[in-house]
Structure 1
């Protein structure tokens, strides 16, 4: 059952579920926003309009994902590859997401690699890489 306080983030649920599965028992909490530290640093190494390169703190991260969910609905997240490191203090995950750009109906498919540092059973730092061309193509495609 989905926690009602996270209902606004339902369009990104496949991503959140994949991340929660990937982190397994390395972290505490049920939802993605429960497993990130209050002072999490979420860093993206790509330029997408409206998404800052560095997000600091859970409230700002939630605000960014709220905007994401206004524009994209994911149907699935898959092809998870998990690489443990640093005796459980770090994890590298590779995965894909598949969804729809809501304004245009254009299908969105992207690949990611995320490097995650865990402290006190919470995600303390997240560094994200993605296929920027896939995002650009989906976001600039014309409506169907």
Structure 2
């Protein structure tokens, strides 16, 4: 598995160039309440993920500039990937039919994946609830030893 997307630190992120395990979390949209809290939680715990040897990246369908503004506004310490064409969203099968305000919409199902150094998915969470999720992911990683 490989992909390449714009990253908030500049340029393109290429999965194949990452040399450490990865926490990749998909969220619906920048600057919405749940997505903001989720990003703030991963950002707050980012040093612990790094200490455990993992990179953390958030991904949504927002445009690169929107991600950059969102990251700056909330002083997020992890980087964000822009997937407006839904390429990686489809690769991880997180695009789902949902209902919003009583109307059918297609959007990202909040999901998190842990990839090992070989880019294999070793754990996934789907239909994620934001509360304590980043902590749960960190605890799982710590349990791996």
Same fold (TM over 0.5): no
The structure with the greater share of residues assigned to strand is: 1
Q: Give the TM bin, normalised by the shorter chain.
A: 0.3 to 0.5
**TM-score under structure 1 length normalisation:** 0.35
